Amino acid sequence: MSVEPLSASQGRGSLAADPIVAIATAPGRGAVGIVRVSGPALAGLAERLCGRRLEPRVATYTAFRDAAGGIIDQGLALYFAAPHSYTGEDVLELQAHGGPVVLQLLLARCLEAAAEIDPATGAPRLPRLRLARPGEFTQRAFLNDKLDLAQAEAVADLIDASTEAAARLAARSLAGVFSAEIERLREALVQLRMLVEATLDFPEEEVDFLEQADAAGQLEALQAGVDAVLRSARQGALLREGIKVVIAGQPNAGKSSLLNALAGAELAIVTPVAGTTRDVVQQTIQIEGVPLHVLDTAGLRDSEDEVERIGIERAWSHIENADAVLFLHDLTRLGAPEYEAEEDRITRALSQKLGPNVPVIDVWNKRDAWPDAHALPGPADAHDALVLSARTGEGLQRLRERLLQVAGWQSGQEGLYLARERHVQALRQVQAQLDHARALLQAPMPSLELLAEELRLAQNALNEITGAFGADDLLGVIFSRFCIGK
């Protein structure tokens, strides 16, 4: 279920109309499960569910009761009074035993108790309580200024982190490290905009605000700051997204063996029979915390077998969408006329199907089977050639290092934070607008109106990162990808 886009009238700081409830822990059995409620004035509902008033921000061990006063379960109840809560609204958390049936009973009891008539008011205790949509608790935290948009995304990234490095960087982003960098850039940009606008507004004063305030120097420093943040964001996005690496080559070049060697597990079937691999086998591996999505594909050749032909078509489809291609060559067949002719055909096809920015890494396999331990034929003898044995593991470390290099990873960097591709694109947009601004500022007769517009567009791009400004449909897309209860 996706989050409905916010209406134009729902700005940041507004409270959502309906109270919401959801099971906040993962499906299945566990030691503890949580039912979470958020909305206005939850103290009465909490008292009805627990049979006692709850002191805010104090864990209370209590029984959770049904409508007749019977006990559903016993556990901890936590009540957070607005605005001192995750969402900025009143929040109630019921921590019970983590059985699916128990949690469903508690969820149903919350909805039932909310609809009961309160004797003191003659009205439902909590009207319009409904099930939460995916990401709606965090969405409310954003709308109520408890988190900015980059921090809200970091919540999902922390949950989804597949490596220790990704989890640590997501925690940094959630703590506001990335947002603080963006705010620093925004303040510098606002200061520069102020100078340009002042020059536009008061031309009769004959005071060159831009020159006196060193606007060119401020713009240069701002560009350097954006470049530094973009470098860190690229690395963070790489840790989050990884790259897609496709192993391609003729049948029996050792593609499946290489996938197994990189993964450290027998994932793909390996036999001496050509055409064993008929479909794509994918595995995500980690090198220095960077996820690489490696795909083993069917051997590339002309085939009369219909099933194999479909596998080869799928192989080319994945190759065309790869971030990098490992073109695997068989050392033991180099020099054979038919083999070399097919290698040339695959090389031409790769050059036609791949974009100019997609690297092709040539790898010569079966080093262990080459008879001369010192001399290698042709290009495999080059200084930077990647020669390995998927069977023995010789040369695999060099391949891993080359893959990191191709991915753009730079180890040992400090001050990184987990970023998303949209953050990288926004920062690139800021770079482009500032480049235009610099060209205008350096012109013999600067157009200050155009300069002011370029700076405004740059600030809009920065604001989109933290959500100070952004399209309503962007918010809907982001929060719809969260899990329910978060």
Binding residue ranges: 36, 93, 146, 252-257, 271-277, 296-299, 389-391, 486
The helix (H) or strand (E) run that includes residue 32 is strand 30-39
Strand partners for 284 = 293
Distance CA 216, CA 128 (A): 56
Distance CA 331, CA 390 (A): 12
Distance CA 282, CA 297 (A): 9
8 A C-beta contact, residue 211 and residue 171:
no
User: What counts of helices (H) and strands (E) characterise the chain?
Assistant: 15, 14
Binding site for K(+): which residues?
252, 271, 273, 276
Binding site for Mg(2+): which residues?
256, 277
Which structure tokens are listed for 390?
């998927």
DSSP-derived letter for residue 433 is H
- CB-facing half-sphere around the CA of 163: CA atoms within 13 A: 19
Distance CA 343, CA 279 (A): 21
Q: How far are the Cα atoms of 218, 257, 301, 302, 354 from residue 324, in angstroms, in the given order?
A: 39, 19, 20, 24, 9
Distance CA 277, CA 53 (A): 65
Angle at 162 between CA 159 and CA 166, to 5 degrees: 80
Binding site for GTP: which residues?
252-257, 271-277, 296-299, 389-391
Closest CA to 72 of 40, 38, 49, 41: 49
Residues ≥6 apart with Cβ < 8 Å to 241:
291, 420, 421
Q: Give the CA-trace dihedral at 474, 476, 477, 482, to 10 degrees.
A: 130
Distance CA 433, CA 159 (A): 34
Binding site for (6S)-5-formyl-5,6,7,8-tetrahydrofolate: which residues?
36, 93, 146, 486
Distance CA 140, CA 16 (A): 7
Distance CA 459, CA 469 (A): 9
What count of residues does the chain have? 486
Cis status, amide bond into 203, omega within 30 of 0: no
